[in-house]
Amino acid sequence: MTESGDGAASAPFDLTGKVALVTGGNGGIGLGMAEGLARAGAAVAIWGRDGTKLETAAGKLAQYGAPVHTAMVDVSDADAVASATEDTVRRLGRIDAVFANAGVGGRTKFLDLDPSELHRVLATDLDGALWTLREAARHMVARAETGDPGGALVTISSVSAIRGAPTLQSYAAAKGALASVTRGLAVEFGRHAIRANTIIPGWIRTEMTAGSFDRPHVQEAILKRVPIRRWGTSADFAGLAVYLASDASAYHTGDTLVVDGGYTVS
């Protein structure tokens, strides 16, 4: 499907006929985005490393009636990403939007940080996103060269990339780099009508972050600084994912969109 911006006004958020890939789409923010995309009519591919979670997530997405494809993929493995991308295109026909969301946490006192911990985090959170974006961009450029331009590359960063967070230096390094990478992609691939944007989540309650939210001092220190006065949820990312995958965002690229309930401006 070409994305000229023409005709999008009639149903700007209808994703029928589009295919979206969400890495780490079997839980948390990724699943929230995948549900929004499927509900809007997109066929959705979700990659993850936990087969049981993939199966459960696929069951949730199936209720919306659009095709769903799941795959066990370790995004830190460049060859595995290339193979999985080919398989996803073979099964679903194309990829119109990719959400590079797969990530791991990393909380270590900086003076105790060692190479193995640093590279464990970077391998998934930064390298894995790069391999995913590279393969998706290759596919989108190839389509453009046959007269079918357009596509959306989306990275999922973190509020730790723009606000200091103790003990999260390795995580922040990866997430901060993603925003810079994405701006470069927006410039490099814009001529193919491929846009690239970054989402920066704030304090979002997911399986990966659950432990932090149960601590009284976190409740006291953080929640009072969130103007909307609640933690974010995975569902808060469904609408934004639909917008970024849709023709409504055909002229929106190189941006960083903060979803944090107002935390960073309070």
Q: Which of 8, 34, 44, 39 is nearest to 251 (CA)?
A: 8
Q: Report the DSSP pairing between strands 256-259 and 19-23.
A: unpaired
- Using alpha carbons, list the distances in angstroms from residue 175 to 126, 130, 200, 240: 7, 12, 9, 19
CA 246 to chain centre: 15
Question: Rounded to an integer, what distance in angstroms lies between the CA atom of residue 255 and that of residue 233?
Answer: 22
Instruction: Give the other-Cβ count within 10 Å of 4's Cβ.
Output: 12
Catalytic residue among 64, 171, 243, 251: 171
Q: Respond yes or no: is residue 171 known to be catalytic.
A: yes
- Residues that are catalytic: 171
